[in-house]
Structure 1
């Protein structure tokens, strides 16, 4: 099976797996216990916390969570009262959360994007004004790979007296996270770490109202017993993202150039220049992506966000780009990274192109 769905999840790094095994098998103590074994487990957590934080803005505090969805919910629901501004192409973890808050009376503005997937900056400047307390934007879009101008949006937020929350799940370790963010949400399994753990970084002085109450762990902002094994796996994965950053970048860019040649008959969705190259969202006239997915059983790719798969509805991200329902349904997402080979991309392109040609034939 050829795996080209890196935006949904990434293969677990062998080094991360090896770091987790002793903590699952032998060093099983609760990291919040005061005895020696507990303190040893807690030390492993803090080593991991430091490694994860090294790819984030300087200073601040890093809270471990169960994943990015929880991190985003803590940041959004726990933010000060006031208006919220976000973007139409955000992940459901953001859009659904602000929709719920909107039903409780919060003023919510969802900014449009252009056909390139980039936020309408004129609309952003008109919406991010005093009275807004939170601006939320994804650094790298999970469906189309477009990189939003997060630094500029953060500046607009600060001028209005608002906080800026960056969903950096797809960008962490790959695209520089602006130093002027106030909160950053990330996830381990998108960077070759384990599933079930993420983190929320908070600038010094930023303290959301907690959603979960109990033992007061993670500075009182996220109660619950941490898993040292998951933390350690995340820490090693983060270290590898830092140490292998240049090699990963070159490898992904080379694969992207190869893929663009091999999929020459397809149209790229989203900006051609403001994007992370390891995410290619492509469409082809007369194609039904779901049928293509069913036909190409030796290739793991996707039609968009894994979280929304099975809904039967066209991607809200692609519809925000003003694509028709037919164009959105004729789109596929191909994602690759560290463990993808040139041969993987070549064989996958051959399979998808043959299936697409057969589907389009009269």
Structure 2
């Protein structure tokens, strides 16, 4: 029976090159205080032995851990996973963050934390002690939880706050929610719609208010009413169905609706069908997020494509560079785009031949 090949470690490299472990670590981490001849000697041993640097080896330099930690909402994430709802926020966050980390020899890990829990500080302290991350990426609603942001600030750990514009420590990052809502609204106005409903997210997310601001500003500039055209949900399907039913049973119902999540848009599509309303002939519909499921509905949903991967990648890049340059103090904004599909069309009475 063939023996399993022995794993090559940093010790083997040090012995082969005749240098200390610290010298090998400095070469691996590309630190400046290594003579070119010594660097070439160590690199020759690495190449000859086929050694692949590990996080443990990189950490030996003592200055960095080469790990970034991303925090996501535990309750909502687990609920989506268990229900297999097809949302891909975490997937996109990992896509952007992990690829950015990989370019710099970093690793990205995700922890699920319940921001409503009394134990949030204890959970976060335990994660930080175990992983010793060089930086932390906070997603909503964690990005606006002072218990979390103050703890990281006290610990001196650089962090990015996605979905937060509040003054304070950390990198403030947005995905231009206000601009994206304006973009969606202006698209419907251009199609001749005058009564455009909006299904917003919960108040605990600042971005919910930003999206309302973008919608209402576009409506106001066009001289269109907003009264009784905005309802709130919690980003979930059931809340979207309730909000859509409220809007569509009003006497002067909207001819178009923008929903602040794909789940609430799917619910609106179902409610419209139950009421005998055809999309887009009787009702145009735009969603936020652009997760995979919107391409498998009938009709396929026009959606605001949230740049989650791009924002996560930008956050990772800034945190990795934090040991070289100060964090940006201005808001870092990564705009989204509107992907047009079959759920939007001319307002009723505007599309005749």
Say yes or no: TM over 0.5. Answer: no
TM-score of the pair, normalised by structure 2: 0.33
TM-score of the pair, normalised by structure 1: 0.33
Q: Give the number of the structure whose alpha-carbon radius of gyration is greater.
A: 2
The one of the two structures with greater contact order (alpha-carbon pairs below 8 A, sep at least 6) is 1
